[in-house]
């Protein structure tokens, strides 16, 4: 078993992700959060892969917008998302359980690995993280050096969700939903001007910054580093108004 994950840029700054086993290309690929179908189709064709299924972190259109077209082209497909948010997830076929605070086996297997889920409300109330081995898909809850806007959840929810994600081992890879890292680090450095790790990260950013790691986020993410929900809420509000 060899798991390969490849970022597929979608829309303006979204990432979908292809997941496949390069030693078993006949088993096809899964895609996480296809905001649109065309770039996913192109990425599949380039690698000679069929599409097996879709995994969803949350219901926003820039994460599920490609579902209908992909099902129409490649279907029938398995479409997996959080059971409690199923009413907002187009084309869903399999409803995943998820609890707050810890990853749990979902009963599904992807590329030979058990798919684990955790409920991470904050950006939306129905957001989940998806875990395969040491690879975690965080959607719009945790970004590199940032977190999602609190559209539905509270600062307390976001604080707990980020702490649960960053309680994982330090080398766990975190694959996030948008390329916002450069702007996030400008804000981060305004919050912690003496944080050398933030400055070092900002000085050496590749064009595509996904994935991050738990260690990097603990060192440079001002929302992960917030002492409590109140501080996280104040930082999130400041970020919403930040022009840097």
Looking at the DSSP assignment, which residues form a beta bridge with residue 5?
A: 19
Q: Calculate the dihedral angle through the C-alpha atoms of 162, 163, 168, 171, rounding to the nearest 10 degrees.
A: 60
Q: Which of 31, 35, 57, 60 binds Zn ion (CB under 5 A)?
A: 60
Q: Which residues contact 214 (CB under 8 A, 6 or more apart)?
A: 165, 166, 168, 169, 170, 171, 172, 174
* Chain CA centroid to CA 38, Å: 20
* Chain CA centroid to CA 20, Å: 17
Task: Provide, rounded to whole angstroms, the least separation between the CB of residue 28 and Zn ion.
Answer: 26
Task: Provide, rounded to whole angstroms, the least separation between the CB of residue 61 and Zn ion.
Answer: 9
| Local structure of 238: helix, strand or coil | helix
The answer to whether residue 236 forms part of the interface with Zn ion (CB under 5 A) is: no
Q: Which of 33, 140, 179, 217 binds Zn ion (CB under 5 A)?
A: 140
The answer to whether residue 178 forms part of the interface with Zn ion (CB under 5 A) is: no
The answer to whether residue 225 forms part of the interface with Zn ion (CB under 5 A) is: no
Catalytically active residues, by annotation: 58, 60, 62-63, 123, 140, 178
Considering beta carbons, is residue 49 or 232 the nearer one to Zn ion?
232
Task: Provide, rounded to whole angstroms, the least separation between the CB of residue 58 and Zn ion.
Answer: 6
State the residues that interact with Zn ion by CB under 5 A.
60, 140
């Amino acid at each position: 078993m060899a798991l390969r994950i490849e970022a597929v840029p979608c829309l303006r700054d979204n990432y979908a992700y292809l997941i496949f086993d390069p030693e078993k290309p006949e088993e096809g690929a899964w895609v996480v959060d296809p905001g649109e179908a065309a770039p996913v189709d192109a990425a599949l064709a380039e690698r000679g892969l069929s599409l097996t299924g879709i995994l969803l972190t949350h219901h926003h259109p820039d994460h599920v917008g490609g579902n209908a077209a992909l099902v129409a082209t490649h279907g029938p497909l398995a479409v997996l998302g959080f059971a409690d948010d199923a009413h907002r997830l187009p084309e869903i076929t399999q409803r995943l359980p998820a609890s707050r605070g810890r990853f749990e086996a979902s009963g599904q297997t992807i590329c030979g690995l058990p798919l684990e889920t955790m409920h991470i409300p904050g950006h939306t109330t129905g957001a989940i993280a998806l875990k395969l081995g040491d690879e975690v898909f965080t959607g719009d809850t945790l970004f590199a050096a940032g977190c999602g806007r609190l559209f539905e959840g509270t600062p307390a929810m976001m604080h707990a969700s980020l702490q649960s994600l960053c309680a994982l081992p330090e080398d766990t890879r975190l694959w996030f939903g948008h390329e916002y890292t450069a702007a996030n680090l400008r804000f981060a450095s305004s919050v912690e001007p003496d944080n050398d790790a933030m400055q070092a990260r900002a000085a050496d950013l590749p064009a595509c910054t996904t994935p991050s790691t738990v260690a990097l986020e603990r060192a440079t993410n001002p929302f992960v580093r917030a002492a409590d929900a109140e501080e996280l809420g104040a930082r999130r509000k400041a970020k919403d108004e930040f022009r840097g």
